[in-house]
Amino acid sequence: MTTQLSPALAAGAASPVDSIETKRPKGRGRTFRPRNVWTRVALNSIAAIVIACSVFPVYWMVNMSFTPPQKIISREPAFFPVEFTWKNYVTAWTREAAPGQTDFVHGLGASIGVALAVVVVCALFAFLASIALARFAFKGRWVFIISVLIVQMVPGEAMMYTTFNMLDSWQLVNTLFGLFLVHLASVVPFTIWTLRGFVAGVPADLEEAAQIDGCTKAQAFWKVTFPLLAPGLVSTGIFAFIQSWNEFTMALLLLQGYNLTLPPWLNSFQSATEATNWGAVMAGSTLIALPVVIFFLFVQGRMVGGLVSGAVKG
């Protein structure tokens, strides 16, 4: 359920693109730029190959999405969208995935609805829990922390049918609310864990100082601590959104007909056997990938850190 990005995301150091440069302490990890011209040429060529390999599939998707269908079904693929067209997007946007199944627009609505609900509720739940963990000393704190770590690792795939039956007994199969519950439970542990780090990172002394200056405890929290937590809430929120947006297994199992979210929509759309319209499938894929790519660029600075912050220090 939780796919490739999970615990890595959110919270923490190291932007792969820029902030590493500015933040690195002096004398550590300076890049070793080889002086020999030929070595540099060789390294740059390898870099160029790496760039080409990483970008090509994404480029191919976009390229195909702008190529007219009759040109896609061709023995000599067009490497550039010479006969540029928006038609695939129109098709993807309006046509049902398969007869009796949802179209893109409704899938989009369902996906956004579920993901936003997950983001809001998850942020609230995890925020409360992380305050309890970071600001209070109480019996059972340890037990809860370890439970969160363990729960985070429970594979949802293993018990998909148990979950299915449970939701079925509550009449929640084939409802977006059921899917929302599943997604929520899968992102909350990680979000608690990450936010706890953020809350702990804001020194309680700051709040006390505000209280000495005449704030009430609640005011001190809302005016001092909360604004400092905003970046943490944003990046965990984006993480939760991406998780829910990409989640495929349970959406495939739980949803049918006109209730599909985008991943099962794309799955039906691509496997509609007779004459799959590949241009439209690629247009659909592009549209699904777009928000995630944008979000990734937003939080890229915080993406690696979560994991690294624990492992690298010292």
The footprint of another protein on residues 251-310 (CB under 8 A) is 252-253, 263, 266-267, 270-271, 278, 281-282, 285-286, 288-289, 292-293, 295-297, 300-305, 307-310
Using alpha carbons, select from 136, 120, 143, 119 the residue that is nearest to residue 199: 136
Inter-helix orientation angle 37-65/278-303, to 10°:
130
| Cβ atoms of 299 and 2 closer than 8 Å | no
Query: Does 223 help bind another protein (rule: CB under 8 A)?
Result: no
Length of the chain: 314
With CB under 8 A as the contact rule, the residue among 146, 209, 216, 219 that binds another protein is 146
**What mask of x and - would describe binding to another protein in positions 66 to 105, judged by CB under 8 A?**
------xxxxxx----------------------------
Q: How many residues bind another protein (CB under 8 A)?
A: 140
If 0-12 CB within 10 Å is exposed, 13-18 middle and 19+ buried, where does residue 269 land?
A: buried
Smallest separation (angstroms) from another protein to the CB of 41: 12
Task: Read off φ and ψ for residue 33, nearest 5 degrees.
Answer: -85, 120
**What mask of x and - would describe binding to another protein in positions 8 to 47, judged by CB under 8 A?**
x--xxxxxxxxxxxxxx--xxxxxxxx--------xx-xx
- Nearest 5 degrees, angle CA 58-CA 231-CA 151? 80
Smallest separation (angstroms) from another protein to the CB of 215: 15
CA distance 250 to 160: 7
End-to-end CA gap in the chain: 33
Half-sphere exposure of 192 (CA within 13 A, CB side): 23
Q: Of residues 166-205, which lie at the interface with another protein (CB under 8 A)?
A: 166, 181-182, 184-185, 188-189, 192, 197-198, 200-204
| Contact region with another protein (CB under 8 A), list: 88-96, 102-110, 112-120, 137-145 | 137-145
Smallest separation (angstroms) from another protein to the CB of 132: 4
